[in-house]
């Protein structure tokens, strides 16, 4: 096991520092520095495949949303026609 001999200085707000320290305390008997090190090393940015999948889902949602709005407009027009029809009959 190699000994850590490098330092990484990360500016952080007082509130964020308190939150990280609380999370580190909940994680067990490790230091805040060890908690941050583990969290940083475990972090993996979204890979390209995941981003493409999210884009496809978003595109599908946009299509679905447009179709839903069309159906709502159609239903609204049908309701207006029905109200007009029954309004005339009732009068």
Q: What is the CA 57 to chain-centroid distance, rounded?
A: 13
Secondary structure of the chain in HEC code, one letter for each residue: CCCCCCCCCCCCCHHHHHHHHHHHHHHCCCCHHHHHHHHHHHCCCCCHHHHHHHHHHHHHHHHHHHHHHHHHHHHHHHHHHHHHHHHHHHC
**Threshold 0.75, pTM exceeds:** no
* Token representation of residue 77: 């027009």
pLDDT digits (tens, 9 = 90+) for 3-58: 778 888 889 999 999 999 999 999 998 999 999 999 999 988 778 888 888 889 99
| Phi and psi torsions of 36, nearest 5° | -65, -45
């Amino acid at each position: 096991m190699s000994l850590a001999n490098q330092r990484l200085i990360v500016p952080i707000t007082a509130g964020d520092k308190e939150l990280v320290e609380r999370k580190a305390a909940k994680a067990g008997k490790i230091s805040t520095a060890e908690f941050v090190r583990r969290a940083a090393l475990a972090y993996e940015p979204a890979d390209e495949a995941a981003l493409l999948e999210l884009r496809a889902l978003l595109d599908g949602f946009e299509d679905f949303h447009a179709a839903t709005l069309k159906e709502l407009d159609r239903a609204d027009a049908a309701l207006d026609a029905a109200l007009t029809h029954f309004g005339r009959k009732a009068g």
